[in-house]
């Protein structure tokens, strides 16, 4: 397998001089999923947005299949990258089917083809096309909107999928369903995925590599098992911050069981 | 109003109503052609918004009779009263259309615009498929305000001889004939109400499909 995305010494600073990305170098294998973890403001979203050139790096470069991202035609590059964000950004004035088919429509494909593909994708993300195609985004639940957002991102059969906290706003059960659905889809479709998330569980469940960012620096790029087992203090602290309540409750149960 | 009077003037009222509509319609088309692109441009360069909207605001404060008077001596414009009327009405219509276009485009959720770009829509596609339809209810609301106001102001255009329903009003005032005043005022009011209702309906259609 070859590197689908390679960051080479990537830096980004705001015009005010704040460094949001500091010499990031790493590569993401083709067809794999890399989760990007880190505190708010650690540069996760900025890193994601350098890939589709929504953010232009101050220095360094990004290679896509060995070719510099800046050498691609911008529109073609972006159409080859599905993009999903937390609030989905569905177009409120379009029906679900038009939202999903919009990129194909923009490519000038015939209307029938746009609709057919849009219905296929709705089914693929677990929505009944006959029931949902004609609805408007405000008539959907949060989980359904995320499904539509994902279907839209996949419409032009992109090689890459960029996801920025896609399930962050969902309740835990819906989120788990969405993660299952996404895992199933990714197993079939073999996309190269960058997934920004705050949820360690989600990263462990979905990703092949876990990246940890802190103040714009890359602290770790490890497999899920290595990440959990790491003795690196900052990674340990991050892992410990999760499930504190659960560990606490479990410890109390043990104590009370001993008393009995 | 006696039926005899009405019968006698019905042809004239109809002609003047059409003239009134033509003056207002032409002015609204011209104002839309200027103010919508200008509003879009301001939404992209907001630092110009305050001075430009301020300028159109000043235009709005010029008394209409004075505005017609100012335009009268100008070359080309002054040659025909209808030209003066259309330019003056257009000047008053600029502010509501411009302000609403600006506010309508600025008010679109940033994340929606970003996603449109990130999905690979070209600038033109993003504008015509996303920004313009989402701002349309606001733009239409501005156009509606402008049109209703213009139908009222257009009656004054008769003062410079531009025609329209104002002609009956001015004649009625000069000859102290209230029937003539009403024969101009009532159709003008009905016209304003009808157009307000029609544009309101179109605005609601846009809102339904945009909500």
Whether A106 has its CB under 8 Å from any CB of chain B: the answer is: yes
Please tell me the least confidently modeled range out of B78-87, B113-122, B199-208: B199-208
Q: pLDDT of B39-48, one tens digit each?
A: 999 999 999 9
User: Span B146-170, mean pLDDT?
Assistant: 92
Closest A-chain CA to B137 = A93
DSSP A5-47: EEEEEEEEE-TT--EEEEEEEEEEETT-EEEEEE-TTSSHHHH
Residues of B whose CB is below 8 A from A162: 118
A117 touches chain B (CB under 8 A): no
Which H, E and C letters describe A116-158, residue by residue? HHHHHHHHHCCCCHHHHCCCCHHHCCHHHHHHHHHHHHHCCCC
Tell me if A76 and B120 make a contact (CB, 8 A cut-off): yes
Element (H, E) at A209: strand A209-214
For B112-143, write each residue's pLDDT tens digit. Answer: 999 999 999 999 999 999 999 999 999 999 99
User: What pLDDT does B43 receive?
Assistant: 94
Q: Is A85 on the interface with B (CB under 8 A)?
A: yes
ipTM value for the complex: 0.85
B122 touches A at CB < 8 Å? yes
- Alpha carbon A88 to its chain centroid, in Å, reads 12
Residue B2: predicted pLDDT: 66
Q: Could you read off the pLDDT tens digit of each residue along chain A, which spans 260 residues? A: 578 999 999 999 999 988 999 999 999 999 999 999 998 889 999 999 999 999 999 999 999 999 999 999 999 999 999 999 887 789 999 999 999 999 999 999 999 999 999 999 999 998 998 999 999 999 999 889 999 999 999 999 999 999 999 988 888 898 999 999 999 999 888 899 999 999 999 999 999 999 999 999 999 899 999 999 999 998 988 888 887 777 778 788 888 887 76
pLDDT value at B25 more than 80: yes
Q: Judge whether A83 is closer than 8 Å to chain B, CB to CB.
A: yes
Q: Is A78 on the interface with B (CB under 8 A)?
A: yes
B159: Cβ contacts below 8 Å, ≥ 6 apart? B65, B68, B166, B170
Residue A191: partners with Cβ closer than 8 Å, 6 or more residues away: A31, A82, A158, A159, A160, A161
Q: Pick A103's closest partner by Cβ from B109, B120, B211.
A: B120
Q: Find, in chain B, the residue whose alpha carbon is nearest to that of A101.
A: B119
A residues 45-74 lying closer than 8 A (beta carbon) to B: 52, 54
Reply yes or no on whether the pLDDT at B32 is more than 90. yes
Query: What does DSSP say about strands A19-29 and A192-196: parallel, antiparallel, or unpaired?
Result: unpaired
Q: Which residues of chain B does A91 touch, with a Cβ-Cβ cutoff of 8 Å?
A: 112, 116, 129-130
Phi (first) and psi of residue A94, to 5 degrees: -110, 150
Residues of A in contact with B211 (CB under 8 A): 92, 136, 138
* B130 lies within 8 A of chain A by CB: yes
Q: Which of B114, B116, B120 sits opposite A79 (nearest CB)?
A: B120
From A89, A93, A105, residue closest to B134, measured CB to CB: A93
Residue of A nearest to B109 (CA): A89
Interchain proximity A106–B112, CB inside 8 Å:
no
User: What phi and psi, each to the nearest 5 degrees, are found at residue A17?
Assistant: 95, 5
Q: Say yes or no for a CB contact (<8 Å) between A75 and B210.
A: no
Residues B119, A91: C-beta atoms closer than 8 Å: no
Does pLDDT of B210 surpass 60? no
Read off the pLDDT of each residue in B59-66 and give the average, rounded to a whole number.
90
Query: Residue A60 and residue A6: Cα distance in Å, rounded?
Result: 11
Q: What is the pLDDT, as a whole number, of residue B39?
A: 96
Across the interface, which of A80, A89, A105 has its CB nearest the CB of B111?
A89
3-state helix, strand, coil in chain B (%, to 5): 85, 0, 15
What value does the mean pLDDT take over residues B174-201? 93
What's the confidence (pLDDT) of residue B27?
96
Compute the count of residue pairs across chains A and B with CB atoms less than 8 Å apart.
63
């Amino acid at each position: 397998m070859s590197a689908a995305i390679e960051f080479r010494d990537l830096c980004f600073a705001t015009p005010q001089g704040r460094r949001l990305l500091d010499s990031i170098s790493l590569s993401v294998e083709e067809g794999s999923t890399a989760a990007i973890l880190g505190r708010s403001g650690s540069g996760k979203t900025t890193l994601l947005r350098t890939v589709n050139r929504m953010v232009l790096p101050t220095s360094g470069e990004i290679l896509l299949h060995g070719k510099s991202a800046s050498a691609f035609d911008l529109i073609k590059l972006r159409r080859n990258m599905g993009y999903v964000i937390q609030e989905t950004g569905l177009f409120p004035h379009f029906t679900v089917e038009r939202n999903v088919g919009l990129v194909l429509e923009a490519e000038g494909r015939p209307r029938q083809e746009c609709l057919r593909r849009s219905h296929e994708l709705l089914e693929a993300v677990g929505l009944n096309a006959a029931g949902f195609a004609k609805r408007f985004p405000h008539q959907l639940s949060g989980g359904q909107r995320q499904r539509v957002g994902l279907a839209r991102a996949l419409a032009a059969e992109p090689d890459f999928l960029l996801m920025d906290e896609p399930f962050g706003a969902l309740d835990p059960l819906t989120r788990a369903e969405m993660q299952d659905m996404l895992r199933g889809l990714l197993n079939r479709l073999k996309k190269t995925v960058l997934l920004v998330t705050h949820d360690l569980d989600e990263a462990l469940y979905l990703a092949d590599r876990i990246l940890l960012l802190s103040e714009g620096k890359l602290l770790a790029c490890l497999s899920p098992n290595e990440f959990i087992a790491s003795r690196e203090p900052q990674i340990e602290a991050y892992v410990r911050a999760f499930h504190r309540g659960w560990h606490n409750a479990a410890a109390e149960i043990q104590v009370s069981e001993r008393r009995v | 109003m006696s039926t005899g009077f009405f019968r006698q003037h019905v042809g004239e009222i109809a002609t003047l109503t059409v003239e009134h509509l033509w003056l207002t319609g032409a002015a609204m088309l011209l104002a839309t052609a200027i103010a919508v692109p200008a509003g879009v441009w301001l939404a992209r360069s907001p630092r110009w918004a305050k001075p430009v909207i301020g300028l159109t605001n000043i235009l709005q404060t010029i008394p209409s009779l004075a505005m017609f008077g100012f335009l009268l001596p100008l070359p080309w414009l002054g040659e025909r009263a209808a030209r003066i009327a259309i330019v003056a009405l257009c000047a008053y219509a600029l502010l509501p259309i411009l302000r609403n276009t600006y506010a309508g485009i600025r008010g679109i959720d940033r994340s929606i615009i970003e996603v449109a770009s990130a999905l690979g829509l070209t600038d033109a596609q993003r504008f015509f498929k996303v920004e313009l339809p989402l701002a349309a209810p606001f733009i239409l609301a501005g156009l509606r305000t402008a049109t209703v106001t213009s139908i009222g102001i257009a009656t004054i255009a008769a003062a410079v001889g531009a025609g329209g329903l104002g002609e009956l009003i001015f004649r009625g005032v000069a000859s102290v004939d209230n029937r003539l005043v009403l024969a101009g005022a009532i159709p003008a009011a009905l016209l304003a109400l009808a157009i307000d209702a029609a544009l309101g309906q179109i605005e609601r259609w846009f809102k339904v499909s945009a909500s």
